[in-house]
Chain A
Amino acid sequence: MLHGMKVRDLNAWYNDNHVLKNINLHLMGGKITALIGPSGCGKSTFIRCLNRMHEVIRGGRVRGEVWLEGENIYGRRVDAVMIRRRIGMVFQKPNPFPTMSILENAVSGVCLHESLNTNGLAERAEEALRQAALWEEVKYRLDDPAVSLSGGQQQRLCIARALAVKPEVLLMDEPCSALDPASTLRIEELMAELKKTYTVIIVTHNMQQAARVADHTAFVYQGEVVEDGPTSEIFTAPKDPRTEGYITGRFG
């Protein structure tokens, strides 16, 4: 059984701007949960609160609890660095390290935490690149610069980089919004594969994408979770009129 996450009374601010208000949500282990909502509703802030990346931004402040396997990641003695090792993240724009090769990128996170020899690193890189469905495309050019890859390949490299650290949860903040449809499809297929091993949480402004990949969907609106439930229910029988308004395209 994979660990899920429980969010309790989560509030977040940018300086004086109260962007997340009393969020309570259960993110199920071994499933894909999609966070949907119009631009500026706070869904990106929310996902960044799940691995303590919100506080990295100047003026970012969080109050509340987020539980991962019996541990509150905002607990007083908890180290944000250790939390980020357990909860990996993929960003909107592919951001491989430009000075590093494909191989170095894949193991860049591993090198921070473990001292493996060259063989161990190569094995870990292959494993992660296979999981990210990139291995076949790069196995003969591992020493090329990461920036020589296409956008979609770079994003899969970023996924591999996050997976190589062996996290329990993978957060994806609009991972396909900078990619073309073919690359998007590849990453969506990949997600279906990943949920066997990881708890996946994805932010998307693309409702079709949520409908295609997610087991659960939460609708975020003006800093609140309006409604959450199995994806099919959210899309076919929304209970809240605001959810219905958004998924039928009346706003957002």
Chain B
Amino acid sequence: MDRMYLRRARNLVMSVMCMASAVVVIIPLVMILFYVAADGLRAINWGFFTNLPKPVGETGGGMANAIAGTFTMVTLATGLSLPVGLMAGIYLSEFGRGRLREAVRFLTDVLNGVPSIITGIFVYVLVVVAMGRYSALAGSVALGIIMIPIITRSTEEMLRMVPKSLREASLALGATEQQTVVKIVLRSASGGIVTGVMLAVARAAGETAPVLFTALNNRYWNQGLDQPIASLAVFIYTYGISPFEDWHSQAWGAALVLVVMVLFLNITARLVVRARQGR
């Protein structure tokens, strides 16, 4: 009898600990959202989305250029990294063999682990120095390099989760390997792949250090992809470390906009995937 009680007690303790840990996992997110919303909402008004930043000393002003800048760079970075990441993921999961595949997989993980500031310095040397100026393009390249390994590995994982039986079904119908990959495997994994891409987009939208080194910042509208461009992340950074009270408040506002943008992207992606699968 004693042993039974002991076992039950142990079971209870472990269950409670696991549940408590699960709660601890979500506490930071909830608190971040709460703080950002509480402080950010005060700074946000219509002008915040439509105006350019005001010069030091003047109150008001907005960050329309930073929102547009983040959109521009993330879109461009996605355009650069999505084809590469997707196809590399397909290679790793479907066609890769032997040492080359192991090498690519390992190096992808290493690239994923490279601190983003290093990526920033690398692109600074490669693009900024070569072009002779900071530019939106350089920022996009840096963000794209950060996105590639995330897209590659998540695509690979999702493709590998597609059961072998589906590939065999397709091949047995007389499909070629390419048809099997495109029409069956990719289609079955599309939900997971989209989620992976969204994670990469969210990560890129929030990166600060590499953008600081490559796109710099801009207090006005961007004058072309070969010119410096503002972004929300750098906006938050520069306003956050400034000595001005109203700039702090605007940094909170920018943080809120960034968080909401990322959440919105994630939720939209999930809804799109669910709508496509739940036919």
The docked-state distance in angstroms from the alpha carbon of A145 to that of B277 is: 9
A53-B168, A56-B168, A97-B166 known; A113 and B174 CB under 8 Å? yes
Across the interface, name the chain B residue whose C-beta is closest to A83: B174
B277: which A residues are within 8 A, CB to CB?
99
The docked-state distance in angstroms from the alpha carbon of A178 to that of B84 is: 41
Instruction: Indicate if the CB atoms of B187 and A165 lie closer than 8 Å.
Output: no
Instruction: Indicate if the CB atoms of B174 and A81 lie closer than 8 Å.
Output: yes
Instruction: Indicate if the CB atoms of B173 and A99 lie closer than 8 Å.
Output: no
Q: How far is the CB of B189 from chain A (nearest CB, A)?
A: 9
Across the interface, name the chain A residue whose C-beta is closest to B190: A99
Q: How far is the CB of A98 from chain B (nearest CB, A)?
A: 6
Binary interface encoding of chain B residues 244-263 relative to chain A, with 1 for a CB under 8 A from any of its CBs, else 0: 00000000000000000000
Binary interface encoding of chain A residues 212-234 relative to chain B, with 1 for a CB under 8 A from any of its CBs, else 0: 00000000000000000000000
A98-B188, A101-B279 known; A91 and B165 CB under 8 Å? yes
Within 8 A of A (CB), among B130-176: 163, 165-166, 168-176
- Chain A contact residues, majority secondary structure: mixed
Instruction: Indicate if the CB atoms of A84 and B169 lie closer than 8 Å.
Output: no
- Which of B183, B187, B279 touches A145 (beta carbons < 8 Å)? B279
A37: which B residues are within 8 A, CB to CB?
none
Across the interface, name the chain A residue whose C-beta is closest to B189: A99
A51-B172, A162-B173, A165-B174 known; A95 and B165 CB under 8 Å? yes
Given contacts A91-B165, A112-B175, A162-B173, 20 further A-B contacts (CB under 8 A): A81-B176, A82-B174, A84-B171, A84-B174, A85-B173, A85-B174, A88-B172, A95-B169, A97-B187, A98-B166, A98-B188, A99-B188, A101-B279, A108-B173, A109-B175, A112-B173, A113-B174, A143-B279, A145-B279, A161-B169
Could you tell me which A residues sit within 8 Å of B by CB distance? 51, 53, 56, 81-82, 84-85, 88-89, 91, 93, 95-99, 101, 108-109, 112-113, 143, 145, 158, 161-162, 165
